[in-house]
Each structure stands twice: as structure tokens, then as C-alpha cells.
Amino acid sequence: QKEVEQNSGPLSVPEGAIASLNCTYSDRVSQSFFWYRQYSGKSPELIMSIYSNGDKEDGRFTAQLNKASQYVSLLIRDSQPSDSATYLCAVDDNDYKLSFGAGTTVTVRA
Amino acid sequence: GAGVSQSPSNKVTEKGKDVELRCDPISGHTALYWYRQSLGQGLEFLIYFQGNSAPDKSGLPSDRFSAERTGGSVSTLTIQRTQQEDSAVYLCAVGGSGNTIYFGEGSWLTVV
């Protein structure tokens, strides 16, 4: 599997703040990038996908991709206690397979 | 979740026993994956099925692990002679457009 590195965390932010999650990947030819959210004891849930350089916004989530730097990030604006979870970065390994990072655990303090 | 049903949801087995884990996707999904997540670890790819093509078994950790998919639908992951290090959540997933993967709720396996 290709390497996908995430900032180790845990990340603790106050309610209403911005949580910033970072991910770097090893393979320059990767084309598809994803963020999954995983609540404790649950399976991962896809929350964002991004394929082109730049920003992609969906509600309070913004994904940012920089292929030249092999870097993808996720911003969570106006963080809520319900955002407390582990966030997994995933990168395509080939035409069909994804490699996942180890995850960053986010805790939003009320 | 995402139209993928897995069973059993929890399984406790004794070391050395064989276990079968089942994945039943809703119809129309030709791509099916098995991933494994050990406690505190990332997701580890195990195997991929796509239609009638030969499966990608490159992630299976040992010859104790096997999987099949019958009729392009239900898939079974079999672990023979289970070991304690096999304790993990086994996640079945289906493929969507744009390389997306959607996971089922998982089968939690504990080997004692």
C-alpha cells in the first residue's frame, strides 16, 4: 500500500473553532482523495472527496488539495461536539484501491 | 451502512477455530472490498472483487485467509485456524463512482 501520513493528534478544539487536519501522501500519480469520519465503535463514513487542486466546500467542511506538494487537508469550521471523531485520509492506490492514513482523533470541547 | 449488510456483527471465537464472515451488498454493486482495522490501527486492504475478473488478493495477510464472491453478490471471508492477532473489525465495502468506497457496519472479531 502507498504511504498516507496524517498529523498524529489527538486534536482538541473549542466549540465554534476551526479544526485543521493534514495529510500527505507518497505517490505523485494519485488522483483521488477522500476524507472519512469514524465515530468510536462505528465504521468509516465518507464525508468529502476531492480530485482537483484547490478547495472544495461542503457545508462546514472544506477539503484542500495540492498535488504538487502531495498534500490534502480538511478544515471543519464552527466545530460542534458532534464532530468529535477520528478522521481518516484516503488516497487512491491504483484504479480501484484506497490507502488509508492512521487517522487523526478530534475532540470538540463544549 | 451504504447498502452493505455484514454478519455476524460480533463474533468471539477460540484460537484455532475457523470463522466465516459474510457480506451482502445491495444489487448493482460490482466492486466489493474487504478491509481490516485492528485496534488503534489504520485500515488494511485485504481483497477486491470486480465482476467476473480475477480478484485482487494482494492484501490477504496469510494463507489462512481466503474469500469468495458467489454470483457477483454475496461475499464470504474465511479465516482458518484463527490467531489472537486476527482480532479486528473486518469491513466489507462497495465501490461507487470516482473511486469512492462505502463501508458496511463491520464484523467485530475477537479471538480468545
φ, ψ of residue B85 in degrees (nearest 5):
-70, -5
**Which residues of B fall below an 8 Å CB-CB distance to A?**
1, 31, 33, 41-45, 48, 50, 56, 59, 89, 91, 95, 98-106
CB pairs under 8 A between A and B: 55
Mean pLDDT value of segment A75-99: 93
Nearest to A50 by CA among A61, A35, A37: A35
Per-residue pLDDT reduced to its tens digit, B52-98: 889 999 999 999 999 999 887 899 999 999 999 999 999 999 988 88
- B98/A46 touch (CB, cutoff 8 Å), yes or no: no
Per the model's pLDDT, the better-predicted residue between B112 and B3 turns out to be: B112
- A44/B45 touch (CB, cutoff 8 Å), yes or no: no
- B102/A46 touch (CB, cutoff 8 Å), yes or no: yes
Residues of chain B in contact with residue A43, where contact means CB-CB under 8 angstroms, are: 1, 89, 91, 103-106
φ, ψ of residue B65 in degrees (nearest 5):
-100, 135
Could you give the count of Cα atoms lying within 13 Å of A43 in the half-sphere of its Cβ? 23
Per-residue pLDDT reduced to its tens digit, B15-25: 999 999 999 99
**DSSP bridge partners of A73:** A22, A64
